[in-house]
Amino acid sequence: MVAESLRQAFRRSWWALVIRGLLAIALGIFILVKPLESVAAFALVIAIWALVSGITEIMRSIDLRSVFSSWWLLLLAGLVSVGFGIAALCYYPSLSLAFAVTWVSLWLLLSGIIGITVALQEKRLDLPWGWTLTWGVVCLAASVAALVSPPTTLAAILGFMAGFAIVSGSALLVGAFRLKSLVEG
């Protein structure tokens, strides 16, 4: 009975995977074909995300005020996010794009520091450590390169987004048609 219910549910909903897959592929292709428009949209998404996320965090902090003694930290985080969202909309697109470049640079910097730290620990434990150290150094160098060349960093971010969208969209399509054939077979 449960197996049949699952089959019916999959039969009715496999098309949702197809739509998501096609939209993801279309997004990836759009990013590759229209990079300038994609950068502008990316900047707008960052600003709106910060604004909506901040408002949600403020509402959550007020809701948790009676049970969470540090609720004011959530409120502060929400206010900072709303402030950034408003500023990013006012200084569109430069502030959002600067945020994206800074965020990627910090991520690479922290990854590099962690990689080097782990490599040193591996060396002390007589474990292979050369590739881990290499990864850490490459991440540190990439962090510096990301800060020095923001346009290249934005191009890389958009390239990764386009690649991810196309690959994930293709995977969704393959999964949808495999699911359909399994359910029908």
Residue 33 lies in a domain: yes
* Domain range for 173: 14-184
Q: What is the pLDDT of residues 74-90, one digit of tens each?
A: 999 999 999 999 999 99
* Percentage of the chain modeled with pLDDT above 70: 98
Residue 3 lies in a domain: no
Residue 137 lies in a domain: yes
Q: Does residue 36 surpass a pLDDT of 70?
A: yes
Q: What is the mean pLDDT of residues 99-110?
A: 95
Residue 168 lies in a domain: yes
Residue 9 lies in a domain: no
Going by pLDDT thresholds of 50, 70 and 90, the confidence category of residue 8 is: confident
Residue 1 lies in a domain: no
Residue 41 lies in a domain: yes
Q: Does residue 185 surpass a pLDDT of 70?
A: no
Q: What is the predicted pLDDT for the residue at 184?
A: 76
Residue 64 lies in a domain: yes
Q: What is the pLDDT of residues 105-148, one digit of tens each?
A: 999 999 999 999 999 999 999 999 999 999 999 999 999 999 99
**pTM, to two decimals:** 0.75
Query: DSSP letter string over the chain?
Result: -HHHHHHHHHHHHHHHHHHHHHHHHHHHHHHHH-HHHHHHHHHHHHHHHHHHHHHHHHHHHHHHTTT-TTHHHHHHHHHHHHHHHHHHHHTTTHHHHHHHHHHHHHHHHHHHHHHHHHHHHHHHTT---HHHHHHHHHHHHHHHHHHH-HHHHHHHHHHHHHHHHHHHHHHHHHHHHHHHHHHH-
Number of domains comprising the chain: 1
